[in-house]
């Protein structure tokens, strides 16, 4: 029995199974690490600094652009400390679990008509499912550190991630209903063809699904553990929560995981609500310029990701944080009922339009 042909091609490159797989892994690694790095530099270093009337890193490279390299090198040189009573294997494996769940989200995000690692029919379901795997890594880290602050942080994180998983999924349901598909690629195409009262050419679902977009942004903020939902890593209370005992490379992996997940969730948000790689005027049928088409799609997607990320980080640098119980109450009492209403309204509207 042979594997289907699709498994042996990527971006039109045919090859042996392992060669193509290596290419895909390299693509995911490049996008994830590059995206995380861009987030850290642009938002955490520069945007935050300018919002706080300071300059941020300025010495390493022009405008501190090499600061990130210096930070990574610093972390690599640090000693890898295990707490005395830590559960060594669990402690060592936890960052890998978190990072794995992050990388798996990238597999389904389309950045062009063909620039997608795996065009799954149930793409969005897969993405949301694997993104919630990170909670296992967080719990592992919190429990195995043998530190009370880590334990409190880990349990807070678990409670929060599970509570906000639900509004995240329910916010997406509206888009899925409107597009009529779970495949991210099909959602992009249906946004390209989307018409509001007979007027087309918007290329995005953010107009009819503005409630969904709001819910998605709030839930994504909570999934990422960004202020005002950063209770699990609240520096002034539980030091850094489940990351307290981590040093060096393992801390770096958590750190990359945080921002790479941010990039991935912003990518999903851009794909679902802002039209993904498509923009009005994008030639869906540009004959021979296949590579250019993919690259333009990637650029458009990254630009939209930056818009969503800007909103997320803007809130992060402005708000104080919610308390644990307030955060849960916010999810269960406000976000989930609102998302259910959104689903109801979307369903009624869809039936009314098609009837």
* Residue ranges binding other proteins (CB under 8 A): 48, 51-54, 148-149, 152, 227-228, 230-231, 234-239, 317-326
Q: Cβ of residue 206: shortest distance to other proteins, in angstroms?
A: 25
Q: Cβ of residue 49: shortest distance to other proteins, in angstroms?
A: 9
Q: Return the closest-CA partner of residue 242 out of 228, 221, 257, 264.
A: 257
Beta strands in the chain (DSSP E): 9-10, 13-14, 195-196, 199-200
Cβ(179)–Cβ(190) under 8 Å? yes
Is the CB of 51 or the CB of 344 nearer to other proteins?
A: 51
Is the CB of 88 or the CB of 333 nearer to other proteins?
A: 333
Q: Return the closest-CA partner of residue 32 out of 98, 126, 113, 121.
A: 98
Token code pair at residue 168: 């995240």
Is the CB of 152 or the CB of 309 nearer to other proteins?
A: 152
Cα angle vertex 178, ends 176, 179, to 5°?
Answer: 65
Q: Cβ of residue 154: shortest distance to other proteins, in angstroms?
A: 13
Is the CB of 115 or the CB of 238 nearer to other proteins?
A: 238
Is the CB of 186 or the CB of 321 nearer to other proteins?
A: 321
Is the CB of 19 or the CB of 318 nearer to other proteins?
A: 318
Q: Cβ of residue 275: shortest distance to other proteins, in angstroms?
A: 32
Q: Cβ of residue 352: shortest distance to other proteins, in angstroms?
A: 36
Contacts of 105 (CB under 8 A, 6+ apart): 127, 130, 131, 261, 264, 265, 267, 268
Is the CB of 219 or the CB of 272 nearer to other proteins?
A: 219
d(CA 59, CA 56): 9
Cα angle vertex 269, ends 223, 55, to 5°?
Answer: 75
Q: Cβ of residue 57: shortest distance to other proteins, in angstroms?
A: 15
d(CA 153, CA 210): 33
Is the CB of 87 or the CB of 237 nearer to other proteins?
A: 237
212 cis-preceded (ω within 30 degrees of 0)? no
d(CA 115, CA 13): 11
Q: Cβ of residue 320: shortest distance to other proteins, in angstroms?
A: 4
d(CA 251, CA 243): 7
Q: Cβ of residue 226: shortest distance to other proteins, in angstroms?
A: 10
Q: In 3-state terms, what secondary structure has residue 224?
A: helix
């Amino acid at each position: 029995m042979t594997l289907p042909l699709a498994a042996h091609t990527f971006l039109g490159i045919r090859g042996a199974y392992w060669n193509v797989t290596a290419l895909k892994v390299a693509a995911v690694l490049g996008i994830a690490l590059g995206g995380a790095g861009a987030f850290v530099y642009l938002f955490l270093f520069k945007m935050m600094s300018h919002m706080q009337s300071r300059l941020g890193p300025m010495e390493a490279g022009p405008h501190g652009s090499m600061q990130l390299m210096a930070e990574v090198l610093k972390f690599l040189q640090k000693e890898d400390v295990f707490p005395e009573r830590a559960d060594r294997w669990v402690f060592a494996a936890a960052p890998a679990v978190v990072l794995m769940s992050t990388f798996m989200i990238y597999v389904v995000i389309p950045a062009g008509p063909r620039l997608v690692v795996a065009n799954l029919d149930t793409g969005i379901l897969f993405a949301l499912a694997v993104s919630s795997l990170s909670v296992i890594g967080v719990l592992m880290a919190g429990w195995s550190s043998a530190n009370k602050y880590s334990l409190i942080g880990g349990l807070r994180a678990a409670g929060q991630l599970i509570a906000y998983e639900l509004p995240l999924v329910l916010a997406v349901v509206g888009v899925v209903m409107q597009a009529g598909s779970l495949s991210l690629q099909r959602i992009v195409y249906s946004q390209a063809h989307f018409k509001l009262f007979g007027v087309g050419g918007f290329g995005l679902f953010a107009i009819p699904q503005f409630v969904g977009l709001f819910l998605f942004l709030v839930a994504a903020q909570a999934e990422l553990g960004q202020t005002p939902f950063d209770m699990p890593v609240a520096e002034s209370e539980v030091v850094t929560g489940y990351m307290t005992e981590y040093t060096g490379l393992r801390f770096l992996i958590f750190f990359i995981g945080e921002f790479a997940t941010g990039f991935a969730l912003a990518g999903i948000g851009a794909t679902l609500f802002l039209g993904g790689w498509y923009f009005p005027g994008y030639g869906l049928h540009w004959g021979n310029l296949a590579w250019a088409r993919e690259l333009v799609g990637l650029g458009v997607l990254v630009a939209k990701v930056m818009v969503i990320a800007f909103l997320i980080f803007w809130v992060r640098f402005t708000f104080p944080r919610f308390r644990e119980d307030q955060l849960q109450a916010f999810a269960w009492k406000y976000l989930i009922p609102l998302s259910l209403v959104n689903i109801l309204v979307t369903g009624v509207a869809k039936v009314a339009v098609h009837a």
